[in-house]
Amino acid sequence: MSYEGGDETRGAAMQEPKITPELVAAHGLKPDEYDRILTIIGREPSFTELGIFSAMWNEHCSYKSSKKWLRTLHTTGPQVICGPGENAGVVDIGDGQAVIFKMESHNHPSYIEPHQGAATGVGGILRDVFTMGARPIAAMDALSFGTPDHPKTAHLVKGVVEGIGAYGNAFGVPNVGGEVRFHRAYNGNCLVNAFAAGLADADKIFYSAASGVGMPVVYLGAKTGRDGVGGATMASAEFDDTIEEKRPTVQVGDPFTEKCLLEACLELMASDSVISIQDMGAAGLTCSAVEMGDKGGLGIKLQLDNVPQREAHMTAYEMMLSESQERMLMVLKPEKEAVARAIFEKWDLDFAIVGETITEDRFLILQGNDVKADLPLSKLSSSAPEYDRPWVETPAAAPLGDVPAIGAIAGLRRLIGSPGYAHKGWVWEQYDTQVGADTLVTPGMGAGVVRVHGTGKALAFTSDVTPRYVRANPYEGGKQAVAEAWRNLTAKGALPLAATDNLNFGNPEKPEIMGQFVGAIKGIGEACRALDFPIVSGNVSLYNETDGQPILPTPTIGAVGLLKTPGELIAGKPSEGDLAVVIGATKGHLGQSALLAEAFGIEAGDAPHVDLAAERRNGEFLRANRNVIRAATDLSDGGLALAAFEMAEGAGLGVTIDASDTAFLFGEDQARYLVALHQADLAPLSAAAQAAGVPLALVGQFGGAIVSLGGDTAPLAELSGLYRTAFAKAVA
């Protein structure tokens, strides 16, 4: 959103635009919000001040529609060092170490310009992690696209995957998991949710609250350009047919500069020079300065002449709202200036003192001798509008009714032949999954696992949500997203520690959309409490609509689990003759199932209900008996049939499942795992299950070269060929 003319109009002589209702609306501010601004400052704002309010009060930065409900989430626990409110969450992993992690969306930019939108999403989430003093060790991405036959889908998939790979690979962080889905609801608005995790010493975490008066405010990293001006405001609005005009609001990233910035920041932090530090992400210099000042109860004075600029004649408006990448803002211990400057110069990065902390509650922006903004700082952040949006509860889903008949192998073919459930090697083979040489489990089955270097510990990472469930029943769908993430970690033998949420919804001003949000939050909160699985960070992305058509509600849960010793890891594959055993009760729930959606285009019935006590009991039973479990996966989309095929195919084996009933094979009942056992281990595991009150069922056997589902058979080689090529055929 740039309102500058040609070079002849730039600079001090530029005539700033008149503040009109149209200009206010173009900045994403409602008339009552503008009236609120007038009340706060007692006058008409300057153009730059309007831009600052727009940046701080948009949905993306202020959480004005979601704050009320986010406060209800479960966010605490003995493992939590720092919960929501900082750049990322911090969780104790023992031995004086902590894992720092967060998931964040880059949906709108990725739809406009997929390569740079996705790349800078990766860059931004990495900065959120290392700005707290952590070295990144893992990344994931949860991606949602429209149908493969939509004219934009292939372009978006290729661009997004390429952008993620280009940035992450060049920076040097292993991509260890994630998910990719397709649905017509994302035709006009793809989702790109980026996750990163890093390691730090628990007593060396850096926070963003400024402290001390007269402390220098220092700009670090790359120079400021005009890319991304208005990006946060763009990300807080619906799309329409003017979408192509928004391309200048997308940032451009440079992973090599980011790598230098990482090393410089970690070296700086080790030099005891930092009072506080903040990534310049959404809303750039404005948001980083305001948040540091507000958290510390201080004002901030900035002199824009000192801001490193890569373009000539930049205005105050442009500098304050630019979202140029690879930048940080720091409050520095003044006696450490020479030390800090030397570090950044060594890494060929800019280091510039651009302001200072002040006692007054002011955000004072100077360019030359001109005051470009003079605002009460506290009113920009913590006093941003907060709405209790009207909402209506999502109506209960109608009963499913009769299900069309389909052969077991035919049903399996429909699943593994669709890009949503086909093998995703085409995606992750473009990512470096092994950089750092600590990756123990690569993408493909539930959760990735990365060794904590130099220790016997490892961390498991996963992300999950089933949007069909959330649309049908937001409360149960929210519970299910948490439960499935928890199960994915458990299936690797990891103790689930904590989660991050990326809440993607449509327009919250529509009561039915707000109702989806509220229902999902209630479900997420209940599941997190029941499973001792706190939310420690996250992001809300609203207004994911195009021409009034919303996405499916997609509250993605990213999660981290801990393996204290190498022996806790369950990462084997089934062997010839191993038994296939299901932990948990199977009733055959087909409502909102993957089978019905893929085979018949039916998205009907209720979501499966989640018994959180059963989730906890069955998961703890699996971890307690990991010594006899050869391989494990949770049962979710596609039920037993898809899970058994994936587990067998990954080992190059066939599989025989005895049941022929469609509901038993493809039902999506929760709190279930498929495990592979040696035959001799079945009896002791059955006895342990009976003692623990855990349902256990022998359902088949791994081995051979045939896939048999209740006597319906097909060669493994034929099914494997379909499974491993369907994704590329759909989008390449």
Which residues participate in catalysis according to the annotation? 60, 106
CA distances from 132 to 125, 232, 679 (A): 12, 22, 49
Least Cα distance to 308 among 218, 382, 377 occurs for: 218
Q: What is the largest CA-CA distance in the chain?
A: 85
Question: Taking each helix axis from N to C terminus, what angle separates 716-731 and 153-171, rounded to the nearest 10 degrees?
Answer: 100
Phi, psi of 727 (to 5 degrees): -65, -50
* Residue 437 DSSP code: S
Strand intervals (E) in 359-404? 363-367, 370-375
| Per-residue exposure over 592-602, b if at least 16 CB sit within 10 Å of its own CB, e if not | bbbbbbbbeeb
Pairwise CA distance, residues 233 & 430, whole Å:
32
Please return the burial class of 400, using the count of CB atoms within 10 Å of its CB with bins 0-12, 13-18 and 19+.
Answer: middle
Amino acid at 429: E
For residue 631, what are the CA distances in angstroms to 319, 491, 639, 676, 726?
54, 8, 17, 5, 25
At residue 653, what are phi and psi to the nearest 5 degrees? -120, 160
The β-bridge partners of 351 are: 220
3 state DSSP class of 385? coil
CB-based contact 488:579 (threshold 8 Å): no
DSSP string for 105-143: E-HHHHHHSHHHHHHHHHHHHHHHHHTTTPEEEEEEEEE
Integer-rounded Cα radius of gyration of the chain: 26
8 Å CB contact between 110 and 188 = no
Q: One-letter amino acid identity for 697?
A: A
Sign of CA dihedral 145, 149, 152, 157: positive
Report d(CA 134, CA 130) in Å as an integer.
5
Query: Of all helices (H) and strands (E), which one includes residue 685?
Result: helix 682-692
d(CA 71, CA 10): 44
237: alpha, beta or left, given left = phi > 0 and alpha = psi -120 to 50?
Answer: beta
Q: 233 by DSSP, 3-state: which?
A: helix
Tokens encoding 7: 């070079």
The β-bridge relationship of strands 706-709 and 655-657 is parallel
Cα separations (Å) of 68 from 46, 79, 130, 227, 534?
31, 25, 29, 33, 18
Whole-number Å distance between alpha carbons of 568 and 575: 20
* DSSP summary character for residue 247: G
DSSP string, 558-586: EEEEEESSGGG-------TTPEEEEES--
Euclidean distance between CA atoms 522 and 538, whole angstroms: 16
Structure tokens at 720: 């494997």
Q: How many angstroms separate the Cα of 706 from the Cα of each of 576, 603, 641, 726?
A: 12, 31, 14, 20
- Contact status, residue 299 vs residue 376, Cβ threshold 8 Å: no
Distance CA 207, CA 201 (A): 14
